Amino acid sequence: MTIASGTVREAAIAAPPPDRPDFPARPRRRRRLTRNRWGYAYVAPFFLVFAAFSLYPFLYTAWISLHRTSLSNINGGEFIGLENYRNLLESEFFWNAARNTLTIGILSTVPQLCMALGLAHLLNYKLRGRTFFRTVMLMPYATSIAAATLVFAQLFGRDYGLINTGLEAVGLDRIDWEAGTVSSQVAIAVIVTWRWTGYNALIYLAAMQSIPGELYEAAEIDGASKWKQFLHVTIPSLRPTILFTVVISTIGAVQLFGEPLLFAGNGTTSGGSAGQYQTLGLLMYQQGWTNFHIGQAATTAWAMFLIILVIVGVNAVIGRLRSRAER
């Protein structure tokens, strides 16, 4: 209807409403910001600290990785683009450290998570003194890396180590744990496993306690043994938690630093006489704080970050595909 087809009143009713000015939204938004100001004030310190100590170093490391610079002249380097990344990919030290990191990561992560799962399953039963056992399991995690590594280095000692004494007692030869590639990586994996098994076991235990008891009762009525209940009830229910611990353990394995640094007992960053247990974390430290090539160290740090991104992405894709297949 238009003005020409009716009265002025009818035309006014039929005409589309005029566009509302946008100025009323601003006071509403301002009122909302004013009403939530204490919430923003409470969370602001976290974001300020995060920006100062995480975001800024993260971005600055990326910028430094594009320069040829040293630790003594960190702001006066020459911009060289991606040359540090090309040199890193052509470096045999990088690939050696990457192989060692991967090997130690597998040797420590797989047994660690399997044992944690088994311990959590045992502690999920009504045992006498289970609070004591849970506390004891967390004690290795509370122990400092330096103390644990130095104690294990003594246990794995070639001449007076307790482990070699035990091997001799059963008729086996002594092992130079620090000199061999496999033996040194196994020893470091044992240290990592000892520290993190209890922590992961408590995560699994907390997840197990949220599994409905009706599932176990139904499985028991169907005649399932405890082992079958564990395989067909516990493991499927823990799948998201297991994926979480795999991701966290993988990130920890890529960042492995303290154990290989202190394993030899002298704090060298070469990871053994032939680099047999030098990890990516040790290589980064050696480049930046031993050789003073801070640009190369920043490049290695970003390579570690990209490796973690790839691993987490692969885990996420596998988890999504599996959940989609189960629907």
**52, part of any domain:** no
Asked if residue 114 belongs to a domain, the reply is yes
pLDDT of the chain along its 327 residues, tens only?
A: 444 444 445 544 455 555 555 555 566 666 666 777 788 888 999 999 999 999 999 999 999 999 998 888 877 788 998 999 999 999 999 999 999 999 999 999 999 999 999 999 888 887 788 788 888 888 898 889 999 999 999 999 888 899 999 999 998 888 999 888 999 999 999 999 999 999 999 999 999 998 998 888 898 888 888 888 888 888 888 988 998 898 899 889 998 999 999 988 777 778 888 889 999 999 999 999 888 999 999 999 999 999 999 988 888 888 788 777 776
Helix/strand/coil (H/E/C) assignment for every residue in the chain:
CCHHHCCHHHHHHHCCCCCCCCCCHHHHHHHHHHHCHHHHHHHHHHHHHHHHHHHHHHHHHHHHCCEECCHHHCCCCEECCCHHHHHHHCCHHHHHHHHHHHHHHHHHHHHHHHHHHHHHHHHCCCCCCHHHHHHHHHHHHHCCHHHHHHHHHHHCCCCCCHHHHHHHHCCCCCCCCCCCHHHHHHHHHHHHHHHHHHHHHHHHHHHHCCCCHHHHHHHHHCCCCHHHHHHHHHHHHCHHHHHHHHHHHHHHHHCCCHHHHHHCCCCCCCCCCCCCCCCHHHHHHHHHHHCCCHHHHHHHHHHHHHHHHHHHHHHHHHHHHHHHHHC
| 117 lies in some domain | yes
Q: What pLDDT score does 205 carry?
A: 92
When divided into structural domains, the chain yields a total of: 1
Q: Does some domain include residue 288?
A: yes
In a domain, 231, yes or no: yes
Residue range of the domain that includes 221: 87-144+191-326
In this structure, what CATH number is given to the domain that contains residue 250?
1.10.3720.10
Do 252 and 265 meet the contact criterion of CB atoms below 8 Å apart?
Answer: no
Q: Are 134 and 123 in contact (CB under 8 A)?
A: yes
Q: CA–CA separation, 195 vs 137, rounded Å?
A: 9
Q: Is the pTM of this model over 0.75?
A: yes
Q: Quick one: pLDDT at residue 4?
A: 42
- In angstroms, the CA 322 to CA 327 distance is 9
Residue 296 tokens read as 């190369």
Region at 125 (left for phi over 0; alpha for psi -120 to 50; beta for the rest): beta
Residue at 34 is within a domain = no
- Residue-level pLDDT at 16: 53
Report angle CA 104, 105, 109 to the nearest 5 degrees: 120
**Residue 2: per-residue pLDDT:** 41
Question: Is residue 158 situated within a structural domain?
Answer: no
Distances (CA, A) of 64 to 77, 163, 175, 279: 8, 45, 43, 22
First to last CA, the chain: 54
Residue 290 lies inside a defined structural domain of this protein: yes
Cβ neighbours of residue 142 under 8 Å, at least 6 residues apart?
Answer: none
